[in-house]
Structure 1
């Protein structure tokens, strides 16, 4: 969490909230988080 927080220029507690309590998260935040952990986010609306 600490390394991801540094990449996103935020606090470790913010990353913890994303990972543990992500009921209401902005899409842009989720995209940035995914990139910080080396993943891509794929969203499909059908």
Structure 2
């Protein structure tokens, strides 16, 4: 159980207009940078795009 993690990687199958674009890794922020903020949130950052 990672109580200090600020980021995680989510693997998701991407389907665009019915076409399977395979599995992509998406970096997701799960906590603020402040060490004791206690606030968890999700911000998707996807730098992989397959046209």
User: What TM-score results when the alignment is normalised by the length of structure 2?
Assistant: 0.19
User: What TM-score results when the alignment is normalised by the length of structure 1?
Assistant: 0.20
- In terms of fraction of residues, the more strand-rich structure is 2
Structure (1 or 2) with the larger CA radius of gyration: 2
